[in-house]
């Protein structure tokens, strides 16, 4: 399959993730949308490392996975803490800093 197919699939998944981040109100699903975006970029890097016969893309994808894992763990802990103090899962209601 050519490079155009990879670009189109990756762009589609990235845009689906961006749409999900904007339209959903549940912070867990917003996090899942962020994961979708990170994964689409990972796929692009790995496919291009195969096309260009160089391993740098795969190393980059490995580091993206590491950072994403750390980010998910901290983000879920923050969501849990917010839920413990507020008992509410709608991000539109978290507006204490709004002034």
Residues in touch with another protein (CB under 8 A): 1, 3-5, 7-9, 11-20, 22-26, 28-29, 31-33, 35-36, 39, 42-43, 46-47, 49-50, 52-56, 58-59, 61-63, 65-74, 76-81, 83-89, 96
Minimum Å gap between C-beta 57 and another protein is 9
Q: Residue 33: left (phi > 0), alpha (psi -120 to 50), or beta? A: alpha
User: How many Å apart are CA 42 and CA 48, to the nearest integer?
Assistant: 10
Work out whether the CA dihedral 82, 88, 89, 91 comes out positive or negative.
negative
**Cβ-based nearer residue to another protein, 80 or 99:** 80
Task: Report phi then psi at 22, rounded to 5.
Answer: -85, -35
Minimum Å gap between C-beta 83 and another protein is 6
Minimum Å gap between C-beta 86 and another protein is 6
Minimum Å gap between C-beta 98 and another protein is 11
């Amino acid at each position: 399959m050519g490079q155009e197919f990879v670009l189109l699939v990756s762009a589609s998944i990235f845009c689906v993730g961006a749409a999900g981040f904007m339209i959903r109100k549940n912070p867990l699903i917003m996090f899942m949308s962020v994961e979708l975006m990170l994964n689409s970029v990972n796929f692009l890097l790995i496919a291009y490392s195969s096309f260009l016969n160089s391993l740098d893309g795969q190393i980059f994808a490995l580091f993206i996975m590491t950072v994403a894992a750390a980010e998910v763990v901290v983000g879920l802990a923050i969501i849990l803490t917010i839920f413990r103090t507020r008992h509410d899962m709608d991000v539109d209601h978290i507006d204490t800093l709004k002034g």
